[in-house]
Every structure is written in structure tokens, then in C-alpha cells.
Amino acid sequence: MPLLNLKQVTKVYQQGEIKVEALRGIDLEIEKGEFTTVFGPSGSGKTTMLNLIGALDKPTGGTVKINGDSIGKLNKNELALLRRNHIGFIFQSYNLIPVLSAFENISFALRIARKNSKSEEKEKVFNLLKAVGLEGLENRRPAELSGGQKQRVAIARALIKEPKLVLADEPTANLDSDTSHEVMKIMLKMNKELNTTFIFSTHDPLVMDYATRLLELRDGRISKDKIKEPATN
């Protein structure tokens, strides 16, 4: 069974009296462990598709199945539980909680998932901080971290609960080239070690280089679906 299954998915937004069709019949299957990039021009439906795949929104038509669950049939609480247990998010502007330290931002995701004891939680967070190269910075608040460091915290937060799926929306948009490579390498490493599925929405060719599958969206439809070799460095 594929991790993600989209069948004839449509999404229509009502803006006043005008209907805007953001997605127009998407069919897509994504297997566990894929490292996929969705790209396309602004307004092509990338973020809308990511919202649906991330159970942040429901489709107007068609079905979106995540790990076998059709999100159209889930209520708000069930969608929250699905996100809590199975989906990690990485945002362009990091979206860290400013009043929490790096350690707390990461452990918060684990705590609400209530997956571990306190000592296990501490060990897991420190291991992950080490893995993303943030050892020693655990007590810093987001305001005291650089862009790259913040994105690493965001990656660690997305991965700490060992989700089946990680969605990253423009994860390198605010980072310089070197930091972008570092961040992508960390995600690739996690993908390989934990077999976590990553889906990126991006304009950044650097992110596309790392992907093993490229999906191009145009006018709410998948115009290209290509399997490729990832960058080696």
C-alpha cells in the first residue's frame, strides 16, 4: 500500500463570487521512503497540494489517503491526531515557537505526541540535536540562532516523533547556498537512516538536485512526474 494516495483530487477556493480551482484532478501515489520534490510556478497549486497531503485541509473532490486513512472522512480532532503521530512539517520561515529553547521546540512535538517518558525524550532530543549539528545550542531561543540553525531545529522537530511523512515547504528559501546544502544533506541522511518519506515544495534547483522524484505542477495539474538519480555530494 502506498503511503500517499491521491485520486482525482480537486480543490476549489471561493473568493467572493469567483471560484478559484487550485487543483484540477490530481492522481498521485507516493511510496514510503521517497524523496520527492514538487515544483512549479507560483499559483500552480504546490502549497494547496501540500496542505492536503499534510492533512491541513480537505479536498473539494476526490480522495486523499494518508497511510490508508481518507482525510475527507476524518473530523478536525482526527486530522490533528494524524498530523501529531504521522506527519512532520518544515516551513520556509522555520515557524519555531519563539518562547521555547531549541531543546523545548523539539521536545514539544514529542510531548504532544506523548510517545516517550521524560528520560527517553531527553535522550532522543539530544541525539537528534547532535545529528543535526546543534550540540551545545539546545538552550538557545530561536532569536539567538542563525537561519541555518533555526532550520535544523525545525528539521529535528519534524523528525523527533519519527513520522512516516515529512513535508517541507521551501525549506531553503531563507538560507544561503552552503547552509542549504547542509540542511538538505541532513534530511537526506534522515531519509536513508529512518526511511522517512520527504516531500518538498520548492522553486530551488538545489533542492531538486537532491530529490529522487520530481513532480511538476502547472495550473493545478501534474504536468511532469520524473524519477531521477539524487545528487551524490
Partner 1 sequence: MRSILAIALRNLRRHKLRTLLSISAIIIAVIIGIFYRSILIAYSESTFENFIQLESGHVRLVDEEYARRERVLSLQNTVDGFAGEGLEAMMATLKAEEAITGILPRLRFPAFYTEGDEMEHMLGWGVDIEGEVEEIDFGRHLAEGRLPESGNREIAFGHSLLDELNRQVGDRITLLYNTSYNSLQGSTFTITGKIDTGLPYFDANIFVTPLDQAQDILDMPDQATELLLFGSNRDQDSSIVSAVSSKLETDGDSGRYQLTSWRDSGGIVQWLMAYQRIIFVVMAGIVFLASLIIINTLMMVIKERKKEIGTMASLGLKDKEIVMLFTCEGALMGILGSVIGAIIGGGLTAYFSVVGLDFTEVMGSMGDSTLIDAVVFPTFSLENLLVAMVLGIIVSTIACIIPARQAAKVEPSEAMRDLK
Which residues of this protein are in contact with partner 1, per CB under 8 A?
Answer: 42, 47, 50-51, 54, 56-57, 76-77, 80-85, 89, 91-93, 95, 97-100, 104, 108-109, 111-113, 157, 169-170, 173, 201
Closest to partner 1 by CB, 69 or 212:
69
Closest to partner 1 by CB, 85 or 212:
85
Q: How far is the CB of 199 from partner 1 (least distance, A)?
A: 13
Q: How far is the CB of 50 from partner 1 (least distance, A)?
A: 7
Closest to partner 1 by CB, 4 or 212:
4
Q: Residue 194: exposed, middle, or buried by beta-carbon count in 10 A (0-12, 13-18, 19+)?
A: middle
Question: In what side-by-side order are the strands of the sheet with 165-169?
Answer: 87-90, 165-169, 197-202, 35-39, 213-218, 221-227
36: amino acid identity, one letter: T
Q: Which residues contact 99 (CB under 8 A, 6 or more apart)?
A: 141
Evaluated on CA atoms 13, 14, 20, 26, the torsion sign reads: positive
Please count the CA atoms within 13 angstroms of the CA of 107 that sit on its side-chain side: 19
Closest to partner 1 by CB, 68 or 98:
98
Q: How far is the CB of 164 from partner 1 (least distance, A)?
A: 13
Q: How far is the CB of 207 from partner 1 (least distance, A)?
A: 14
Closest to partner 1 by CB, 81 or 131:
81
C-alpha cell at 186: 541532513
Q: How far is the CB of 227 from partner 1 (least distance, A)?
A: 26
